[in-house]
Amino acid sequence: MKDNPLITIILPVRNEGSYIRRCLDSILDQTISKDLLEVLVIDGNSDDATPEIVRSYSRQFRYIKLLKNPEQNTIDALNLGIKNASGDFIVRVDGHSYLEKDYIEQCIKALECTDADNVGGGMRPVGDTYLQKAIAFATSSVFGIGRGKFHYSDKKEYVDTVYLGAFRRQVFDKVGSYDPEMHYSEDNELNLRIAKKGGKILLSPKIRSYYFPRESLKEVWRQYFKYGYFKPKVLQKHNLSISFRHFVPAFLVASLVATATLSFFRPLFGYFFYGIFACYLSISFLFSLYISINNGIRYLPIMPIVFATLHLSYGTGFIKGLLDFLLLKK
């Protein structure tokens, strides 16, 4: 390894005018020498102030460069960034995130001091508004989105996937770039390929960043529907079985729809519907109460709604993905 390796940050963005300054400022505040840094901001035809904000930074700091992504999606932006990267290390950053001052330093240390091919930290959601904070609490909860370790673990360990990620450049030569068909599952799918090649993914609590959730429940629904929808495509590509935590939201949606429909023909199924609904609502209320006691009772009214949005959207998307990718073979 070079004594002073060049580090490329890849930052895909589209309409991040509300967040991009905070993200770029956190990059400027990094502890590493800026002589070793290259920042590629790949913009997907934003129709807000994002490109002009980035240009204002690039005029002041020559290592910040703005690239255009005509395809407007994250995967093409990431692959464009990898193609144009000059760095020995490639660090992915999200436009909705900001970094601790030693984030990149800790990433490079972890890569150099271990045999990991991809390193990263936990996803630590934060919020500016009441709803964003509620979404952040829900997506940090085991009940909210399951036991993916990068959502809750505070210990250094090898895992299946991490938030964002930092890589040696040669990893992409070995396993390829992000799969353009794996929208909203590109990280998981890439890490599966790394693992199949004998590579390792390391989660380190010293690698710290923060993520702003979507600003409305409609955006959250759309986001988690797509997470659910593309998960079966990953399972199909790698011949993996459906895990329990991925199946539960789909089972909830399917059981509610089935019992509600059958109740029109057999009233008995109406009792099953109300039983399933009451059971789910009770569990949701208990987790909502726990979160509200620890973070403010004012969040109690909104938490069950946020949980339902996460679960029903993911479950609906997962069912549609099963139909499209596994049954209809799209």
Where residue 134 sits, what CATH number does that domain have? 3.90.550.10
Give the total residue count for the chain: 330
The number of CA neighbours under 13 Å toward the Cβ of 54 is 29
Q: Which of 173-182, 254-263, 267-276, 319-328 has the lowest mean pLDDT?
A: 319-328
Which of 170, 198, 214 is at the close of a domain? 214
Rounded to the nearest angstrom, the gap between the alpha carbon of residue 111 and the centroid of all alpha carbons in its chain is 21
Range of 123-127, 150-154, 206-210 with top mean pLDDT: 206-210
Residue ranges making up the domain that contains 242: 219-327
**Mean predicted confidence (pLDDT) in 146-169:** 82
- The answer to whether residues 116 and 190 belong to one domain is yes
Instruction: Output the pLDDT for position 223.
Output: 95
**Strands, E, within 100-178: which ranges?**
118-121, 157-159, 163-168
- Whether 302 maps to a domain, the answer reads yes
- Whether 66 maps to a domain, the answer reads yes
- The answer to whether residues 157 and 249 belong to one domain is no
Say what the pTM is: 0.89
Which of 214, 249, 269 is at the close of a domain? 214
- The answer to whether residues 164 and 271 belong to one domain is no
- Whether 40 maps to a domain, the answer reads yes
Q: Which of 53-57, 70-74, 305-309 has the lowest mean pLDDT?
A: 70-74
- Whether 195 maps to a domain, the answer reads yes
The number of CA neighbours under 13 Å toward the Cβ of 196 is 13
- The answer to whether residues 224 and 198 belong to one domain is no
- The answer to whether residues 33 and 76 belong to one domain is yes
- The answer to whether residues 173 and 279 belong to one domain is no
- Whether 2 maps to a domain, the answer reads no
Q: 50 in helix, strand or coil? A: helix
- The answer to whether residues 177 and 288 belong to one domain is no
- Whether 299 maps to a domain, the answer reads yes
- The answer to whether residues 21 and 91 belong to one domain is yes
Which of 214, 245, 277 is at the close of a domain? 214
pLDDT in tens, 60-103: 999 999 999 998 899 999 999 999 999 999 999 999 999 999 99
Q: Are 124 and 100 in contact (CB under 8 A)?
A: no
Q: 254 in helix, strand or coil? A: helix
Task: Report angle CA 263, 265, 266 to the nearest 5 degrees.
Answer: 60
- The answer to whether residues 96 and 143 belong to one domain is yes
- The answer to whether residues 193 and 242 belong to one domain is no
- Whether 1 maps to a domain, the answer reads no
pLDDT in tens, 263-280: 999 999 999 999 999 999
How many structural domains is the chain composed of? 2
- The answer to whether residues 66 and 202 belong to one domain is yes
- The answer to whether residues 146 and 71 belong to one domain is yes
- Whether 162 maps to a domain, the answer reads yes
